[in-house]
């Protein structure tokens, strides 16, 4: 799906997302946004449930940002060739882990299933800036010509105020895509502000 560029913003609900099997066949994901070009996958934003311990799919050439949405958390242990292992322990909602998609990553659930948001970008020419935000927060589409995507994912029911005072409800797990120069204010709730850049 791509933003409707005739509008300054577009809101997608969870029912708009495309259900896709995991690359390793051990689960499924809700694909929120995906962009491919002649060089392959450039970026992908998705939401998934992890219900058991296991190894993550290999996404060599992509950089991953994972945000814990719900659950008691998990430990991620990463291993790459000729490098000591490293880990992330996510125990609080909206905790973030950043790692290379080509690392061998093993997830160990702390206490039951979790949900997470995944932002993957091509390491060679694309960068993701992912920030957890809390109301009140000013939302603006960067004017930088290198911006290829900008949006805010609602981790809970949230409210956004437009410049004219109108209020927009963002239901939990919906995403607002920003496609033009626009200024909004998150007046209630929490979200994940995602900007993807050409580098």
Question: Token match 């200024």: residue?
Answer: 183
Task: Please tell me the distance from the alpha carbon of residue 195 to that of residue 177, in angstroms, as a whole number.
Answer: 10
What does residue 23 show for φ and ψ, rounded to 5 degrees? -60, -35
Helix (H/G/I), strand (E/B), else coil: 15: helix
Measured at the CA of 80, the angle between CA 75 and CA 81, to 5 degrees, comes to 155
> Could you give all domains of the chain from N- to C-terminal order, each with its CATH number?
14-122 (2.60.120.10), 126-198 (2.60.120.10)
Under-50 pLDDT residues of the chain: 1-5
**Is the Cβ–Cβ distance between 180 and 163 less than 8 Å?**
no
Report the candidate in 67, 35, 33 with the shortest Cα–Cα distance to residue 198: 35
Residue 141's contacts (CB-CB under 8 Å, 6 or more residues apart) are: 147, 150, 178, 179, 180, 181, 182
Dig out the tokens for 63 from the structure.
Answer: 């950089």
Model-level pTM?
0.91
Please report the pLDDT score of residue 82 as a whole number. Answer: 83
Q: What was the pLDDT predicted at 5?
A: 47
**Contact at 8 Å (CB) between 99 and 59?**
no
Contact between 179 and 141 (Cβ < 8 Å): yes
């Amino acid at each position: 799906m791509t933003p409707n560029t005739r509008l300054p913003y577009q809101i997608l609900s969870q029912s708009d997302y495309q259900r896709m099997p995991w690359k390793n066949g051990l689960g499924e994901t809700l694909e929120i946004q995906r962009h491919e070009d002649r060089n392959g996958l450039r970026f992908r934003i998705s939401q998934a449930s992890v219900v058991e311990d296991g190894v993550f799919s290999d996404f060599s050439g992509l950089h991953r940002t994972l945000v814990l949405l719900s659950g008691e958390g998990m430990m991620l242990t990463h291993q790459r060739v000729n490098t000591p292992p490293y880990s992330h322990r996510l125990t609080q909602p909206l905790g973030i882990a950043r790692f290379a998609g080509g690392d061998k990553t093993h997830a160990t659930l702390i206490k039951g299933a979790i949900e997470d948001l995944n932002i993957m970008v091509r390491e060679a020419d694309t960068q993701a800036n992912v920030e957890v935000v809390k109301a009140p927060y000013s939302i603006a589409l960067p004017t930088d010509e290198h911006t290829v995507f900008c949006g805010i994912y609602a981790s809970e029911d949230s409210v956004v105020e437009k410049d004219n005072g109108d209020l927009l409800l963002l239901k939990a797990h919906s995403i607002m895509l920003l496609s033009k120069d626009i200024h909004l204010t998150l007046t209630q709730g929490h979200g994940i502000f995602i900007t993807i850049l050409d580098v």
